[in-house]
Amino acid sequence: MHRFLRSIGFGQYEKKREIEALLSQLERIGSRRRIQVDADENLCEIRAEVAPGMGVVIVGETDAEGVFRREYYYPYLTSRDISSKAECSIQRHTEKETYAGLLDEYRVGISLIFYLENGFEYRERKLDRLPRRVESVNLTGLAMEGKILLPLHKTRKQIEMARVATKDRNTLLEAAKNGDEDAMETLTIEDIDMYSQISRRVMKEDVYSIVDSCFMPCGIECDQYSVIGEITHIEEKLNQVTDELVYDMTLDCNDMVFHIGVAARDLMGEPKVGRRFKGQIWMQGRAKFVEE
């Protein structure tokens, strides 16, 4: 089974035959789209929504008799919030007709890799020879489990100073990428000072009172990350098939906004706006393409 099916309320399905029965049920209720790749091959996508903006995508091929043959599936969560307008490139995975996106995002300090949630649209545009340049990306993440952390107390002045410092650092990172040696030197000195400051504070303080938010790769799969972010909005979604409650939380992490989906039973603590979420996520993204 797909590990992150439980993130959207399918945690009770564990055995292979149970998953097969579930997918067959979703195939009957989902909406279908099909494109003809060539004379002998087609690509069919079934999108079964189990709650607003949340569900399972099943991809396969329709045979000559009109029978759908499933190849793979994945759970999804969509978002209306634009997470990034940074330069984005898309590449196909080696194993199957799925795609990964790569964002050159300064705010998280790394090249952010995500699973392209609307890969069918990308393939369709490719066949129709339409523009595939990405204008913006709406990011979402699915978590199998998570914890709620208490917020850090900050004054209005501290929040404003942090916002200005983040903006200045992003400017320096952009300049350093373009070869500015002064910017590289400034960033190096800042990192040394930060390391020294953290080393002193960690002797007397808890690490989560020092680390306000974080966004870092986790494990060996390139689209999974460990995140800590402030919760800015919470929406409760009920899986219509299992009646399981799923939290759709909007996070502000490293000055970047994205949504997180996690089953209520897998979340430790009570989520509230202002508190923080900590967990490992599988990052997805819906790309908006530039129109002609």
Q: What is the pLDDT of residue 224?
A: 94
H or E element at residue 39: none
Q: What is the pLDDT of residue 75?
A: 95
Alpha-carbon distance of 221 to 114, in angstroms, equals: 10
CB neighbour list of residue 194: distance below 8 Å, 6 or more residues apart: none
Handedness of CA 76, 77, 80, 85 (dihedral sign): negative
Tokens of 121: 């649209």
Q: What is the pLDDT of residue 266?
A: 94
Q: What is the pLDDT of residue 1?
A: 67
CB neighbours (10 Å) of residue 38? 7
Look at residues 225, 261, 247, 280 and name the one whose alpha carbon lies nearest to residue 111: 225
- pLDDT per position in the chain (292 positions), as tens? 688 999 999 988 888 899 999 999 999 989 999 888 887 888 899 999 999 999 999 999 988 788 888 999 999 999 999 999 988 999 999 888 899 999 988 777 778 999 999 999 999 998 888 889 999 999 999 999 999 998 877 777 776 777 777 777 777 777 777 788 887 888 788 778 877 877 787 777 777 777 778 888 988 888 999 999 999 999 999 999 999 999 999 999 888 899 999 999 999 999 999 999 999 999 999 999 998 7
Residue type at 221 in one-letter notation: E
Q: What is the pLDDT of residue 152?
A: 79
